[in-house]
Amino acid sequence: MARIFRRNLIFKEVFSISSNIQWFPGHMAKALHQFQNNVHLADIIFELVDARCPYSSINPEIRKIGRGKPHLLILTKADLADTEMTQSWVRWFRLHGYAATSVDSKNNLTSNQITKIAQQILKSKINSDHAKGIANKTIRAICVGVPNVGKSTLLNQIIKRRAAQVGNRPGITKGQQWLKSSRNLELLDTPGILWPRFQNESIAYKLALTGAIKDNLYPKDDVALFAIDFFRNHAEQNLAKRYRLTGDDLKLSRVDLLMKITKNAGMLQDFNRGSMRIILDARRGKLGNFTLDELSIAKSGLDNDN
């Protein structure tokens, strides 16, 4: 069995066979359409991206539809990402004309942080409303982003109530829902949206590893091998400690390393389970904080590359 598994993986690696993943089903196309129809109701778009892959989780479709509308890019799950990298990405986005900030949505101060930034971005509109005698007009924000990025969690935190359903898997929010905060703020929660074609395979791996794609929709071994490569290059000691790997183990080919980790995790030759263990460990922070997107992938800005 191990031999067949190894041969299949090597075959996949050599021929780079990409599986026919259907991650853009009808309901996602519908959600994108709904966003397009309702974006005019909002004063500002909150686009949420995952701080562990902030560049790869920007949805080009949302950017196209939302062009011209005040926009705040919010890097969520900053508590799971590399802190310095998060700061660098926020700086990079700001440098490229985006209002951007990072959050840990479990932190109670997040509500103030986001409300203040939104008011700052909309300052001239608020001032002109004031000049017309309209005081304390409600600000409407539409909140969008890839599945499982933390949209509903952030909105609950902003309004200080558990009004939107949240859960640790993609596809929890099924329809749009307006949520009211006591601070002249109305927020539209929306279902997570991916886009029909990823620009390259590594974007798909990053989104899968961070939990934006349903676990039954991607090949676990491919994503686990991607994770092994990443952690071996960036946090070798975390990998070694978590799976009791020796220096020699760390020099194995990535396929052999996946097999070794599966065995050390007590899963014998169940490589699918071994793969899922690595994926879940990464998501839960058991391999340390990490950021998959290097600044070098951004090159000359968003419009050209993503």
For the annotated binding site, the residues are: 148-153, 192
How many residues in the shown chain lie near ligand GTP by CB under 6 A?
A: 25
How many residues in the shown chain lie near Mg ion by CB under 5 A?
A: 4
Strand order in the sheet with 71-76: 99-102, 71-76, 44-50, 139-145, 185-189, 177-181
**x/- track of binding to ligand GTP for residues 107-146 (CB under 6 A):** --------------------------------------x-
Distance CA(287)–CA(228), nearest Å, equals 11
Select from Mg ion, ligand GTP, none the partner in contact with residue 215, using the beta carbon and a kind-dependent cut-off of 5 to 8 Å: none
Select from ligand GTP, Mg ion, none the partner in contact with residue 170, using the beta carbon and a kind-dependent cut-off of 5 to 8 Å: ligand GTP
* Interacting span for Mg ion (CB under 5 A) from 149-157, 220-228, 233-241, 270-278: 149-157
- 268 half-sphere exposure, CB direction, 13 A CA radius: 2
In whole angstroms, the minimum distance from the beta carbon of 179 to ligand GTP comes to 12
Select from Mg ion, ligand GTP, none the partner in contact with residue 106, using the beta carbon and a kind-dependent cut-off of 5 to 8 Å: ligand GTP
- Is residue 274 near ligand GTP by the rule CB under 6 A? no
Give the containing element (helix H, strand E) for 45: strand 44-50
Distance CA(210)–CA(54), nearest Å, equals 11
CB 185 within 8 A of CB 143: no
The SS3 call for residue 283 is helix
59, 75, 89, 192: which one binds ligand GTP (CB under 6 A): 192
- Is residue 77 near ligand GTP by the rule CB under 6 A? yes
Beta strand ranges found along the chain (DSSP E): 44-50, 71-76, 99-102, 139-145, 177-181, 185-189
Taking residue 268's Cβ as centre, other Cβ atoms within 10 Å add up to: 12
Give the containing element (helix H, strand E) for 145: strand 139-145
Residue 274, token pair as written in the block: 């071994």
- Is residue 54 near ligand GTP by the rule CB under 6 A? no
Which is closer to ligand GTP, CB of 102 or CB of 262? 102
- Is residue 152 near Mg ion by the rule CB under 5 A? yes
CB 281 within 8 A of CB 242: yes
Select from Mg ion, ligand GTP, none the partner in contact with residue 168, using the beta carbon and a kind-dependent cut-off of 5 to 8 Å: ligand GTP
Distance CA(298)–CA(215), nearest Å, equals 27
- Is residue 196 near ligand GTP by the rule CB under 6 A? no
Contacts with ligand GTP by CB under 6 A lie at 76-77, 79-80, 103-106, 145, 147-153, 166-168, 170-173, 191-192
